[in-house]
């Protein structure tokens, strides 16, 4: 298709790439420092923008700088994006295969540029390499645990780019072998160059959306979590409890609450010191977190007092969970943490305890009974059906 100048695409992508890299570096050195992979993504944009500027110098500088080097830089840019996504998602780095692909592409490109000048072979080499690299990036995105609009957008942008690269590769196989870079105005080539420009912008935009979502989630986590243990803070837990009670009543599903208090904690502090006391609290909360199901929640109610929310759980099942927590707390997992025990009160959502205040109060009374019974006990609140039962 005549009239579409690949050079215009190239220059636009170079300018966009530089701007995107600038924004990412500014974000990465500022308040988004906690988000992993920003620096690598910025570096990828710079690499690709440099490639685009070099492409634009075709005919002005030697082929080494206007063809071989920029083609290689584009591939390096995508590998750097892959490294960024690996860091961002906290995945294990598996770079050997990508470097092998990169090395093989560099050798083939060098051969078809300097030894046997073959434009079609260069296009096939580059487009097949980029198809693999862009697909590898898309696969990484689809492996992310939390996927929202931003992740889907970026993943699809990677996939769309790799489809265009594949189309370019296929077209090159069918193309007249006498076509040269300066005479190649085919539709596929124009789309290929346009995609290079557009994907750099779309991918960076997608990545920035992903970063802003990650930051939002982190801020939400920090606002609702207890700093020492990482479990819900009291106010956030109570809000979650109210929400779960409303849902359980609406769906007529059972739910239960546990209130847990570490036994003789003053003595633990007095005997081992406050720091060791803190370690006991951290040890306990991590044990409970390992034991709970997805959908359950634990919150720190007071100093050494915790609340556990068990949706879809009858009083009987809540009792079993509580007793497992009690038994697990008594296990010594680390030499740095002295042995300790807990007492637990269990209360189900029933007509007598219809809201968070009455439910917690009922669980608290059962906890008091557990303490009175000699501690290291689980007690039930629902006296109508179960009575105050020692473990």
Ligand X SMILES: Nc1nc2c(ncn2[C@@H]2O[C@H](COP(=O)(O)OP(=O)(O)OP(=O)(O)O)[C@@H](O)[C@H]2O)c(=O)[nH]1
In the complex, least distance from residue 226 CB atom to ligand X, rounded to whole angstroms: 9
Stretch that binds ligand X, among 31-39, 54-62, 184-192, 261-269 (CB under 6 A): 261-269
Query: Given the complex with ligand X, which of 368 and 386 has the nearer CB atom?
Result: 368
In the complex, least distance from residue 382 CB atom to ligand X, rounded to whole angstroms: 23
- Continuous segment of H or E residues that includes residue 345: strand 342-348
Query: What x/- string results for residues 300 through 319 when contact with ligand X is judged by CB under 6 A?
Result: ---xx---------------
Query: Given the complex with ligand X, which of 146 and 278 has the nearer CB atom?
Result: 278
265 is a site residue for ligand X (CB under 6 A): yes
Single out the residue of 12, 63, 66 nearest to residue 196, CA to CA.
12
Handedness of CA 226, 227, 229, 231 (dihedral sign): positive
Instruction: Please select the residue that binds ligand X; options are 93, 274, 324, 372, rule is CB under 6 A.
Output: 274
Query: Given the complex with ligand X, which of 151 and 263 has the nearer CB atom?
Result: 263
Query: How is residue 191 written in tokens?
Result: 């789309």
234 is a site residue for ligand X (CB under 6 A): no
Query: How is residue 219 written in tokens?
Result: 């801020």
Please state, in angstroms and rounded to a whole number, the distance separating the CA atoms of residues 22 and 1: 34
151 is a site residue for ligand X (CB under 6 A): no
CB-CB contact of 272 with 359 (8 Å) = no
In the complex, least distance from residue 380 CB atom to ligand X, rounded to whole angstroms: 19
264 is a site residue for ligand X (CB under 6 A): yes
- Continuous segment of H or E residues that includes residue 368: helix 356-372
Strands 255-262 and 342-348, sheet pairing: antiparallel
Instruction: Please select the residue that binds ligand X; options are 6, 277, 299, 345, rule is CB under 6 A.
Output: 277
In the complex, least distance from residue 372 CB atom to ligand X, rounded to whole angstroms: 10
Stretch that binds ligand X, among 47-55, 164-172, 185-193, 266-274 (CB under 6 A): 266-274
Stretch that binds ligand X, among 39-47, 69-77, 243-251, 260-268 (CB under 6 A): 260-268
Query: Given the complex with ligand X, which of 147 and 371 has the nearer CB atom?
Result: 371
Stretch that binds ligand X, among 142-150, 161-169, 194-202, 273-281 (CB under 6 A): 273-281
In the complex, least distance from residue 282 CB atom to ligand X, rounded to whole angstroms: 9
Single out the residue of 74, 241, 212, 227 nearest to residue 154, CA to CA.
212
HEC assignment per residue over 82-151: HHHHHHHHCCCCCCHHHHHHHHHHHHHHHHHHHHCCCHHHHHHHHHHHHHHHHHHHHHHHHCCCCCCHHH
Stretch that binds ligand X, among 12-20, 22-30, 114-122, 267-275 (CB under 6 A): 267-275
Contacts (CB under 6 A) with ligand X, residues 28-57 = none
341 is a site residue for ligand X (CB under 6 A): no
Query: Given the complex with ligand X, which of 248 and 341 has the nearer CB atom?
Result: 341
Query: Given the complex with ligand X, which of 227 and 384 has the nearer CB atom?
Result: 227
Please state, in angstroms and rounded to a whole number, the distance separating the CA atoms of residues 146 and 153: 13
260 is a site residue for ligand X (CB under 6 A): no
In degrees and rounded to multiples of 5, residue 331 shows phi and psi of -75, 140
Handedness of CA 222, 226, 230, 233 (dihedral sign): negative
Single out the residue of 47, 42, 131, 49 nearest to residue 87, CA to CA.
42
Please state, in angstroms and rounded to a whole number, the distance separating the CA atoms of residues 75 and 162: 12
Note the residues at the interface with ligand X (CB under 6 A).
Answer: 261-267, 269, 274, 277-278, 281, 303-304, 371, 375
């Amino acid at each position: 298709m005549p009239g579409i100048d690949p050079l215009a695409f190239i220059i636009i992508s170079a300018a966009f790439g530089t701007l995107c890299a600038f924004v990412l570096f500014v974000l990465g050195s500022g308040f988004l420092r906690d988000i992993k992979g920003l620096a690598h993504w910025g570096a990828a944009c710079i690499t690709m923008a440099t490639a685009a500027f070099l492409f634009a110098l075709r005919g002005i500088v030697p082929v080494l700088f206007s063809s071989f080097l920029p083609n290689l830089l584009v591939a390096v840019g995508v590998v750097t994006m892959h490294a960024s996504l690996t860091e961002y998602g906290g995945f294990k780095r598996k770079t050997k295969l990508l470097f092998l692909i990169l090395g093989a592409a560099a050798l083939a490109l060098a051969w078809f540029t300097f030894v046997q000048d073959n434009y079609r072979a260069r296009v096939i080499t580059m487009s097949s390499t980029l198809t693999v690299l862009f697909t590898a990036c898309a696969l990484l995105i689809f492996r992310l645990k939390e996927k929202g609009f931003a992740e889907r957008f970026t993943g699809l942008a990677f996939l769309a780019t790799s489809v265009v690269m594949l189309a370019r590769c296929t077209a090159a196989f069918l193309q007249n072998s006498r076509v040269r870079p300066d005479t190649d105005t085919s539709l596929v080539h124009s789309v290929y160059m346009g995609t290079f420009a557009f994907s750099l912008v779309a991918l960076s935009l997608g990545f920035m959306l992903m970063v802003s979502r990650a930051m939002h989630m982190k801020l939400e986590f920090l606002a609702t979590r207890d700093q020492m243990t990482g479990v819900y803070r009291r106010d956030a837990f109570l809000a979650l409890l109210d929400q779960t009670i409303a849902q359980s009543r609406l769906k007529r599903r059972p739910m239960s609450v546990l209130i847990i208090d570490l036994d003789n904690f003053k003595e633990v502090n007095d005997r081992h010191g406050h720091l060791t006391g803190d370690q006991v609290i951290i040890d306990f909360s991590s044990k409970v977190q390992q034991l709970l199901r997805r959908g359950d929640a634990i919150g720190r109610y007071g100093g050494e007092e915790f609340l556990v929310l068990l949706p879809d759980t009858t009083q009987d099942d809540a009792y079993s969970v509580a007793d497992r927590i009690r038994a697990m707390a008594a296990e010594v997992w680390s030499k740095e943490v002295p042995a300790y025990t807990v007492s637990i009160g269990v209360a189900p959502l029933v007509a007598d305890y219809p809201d968070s205040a009455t439910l917690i109060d009922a669980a608290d009374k059962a906890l008091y009974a557990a303490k009175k019974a000699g501690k290291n006990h689980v007690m039930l609140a629902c006296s109508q059906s179960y009575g105050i039962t020692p473990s």
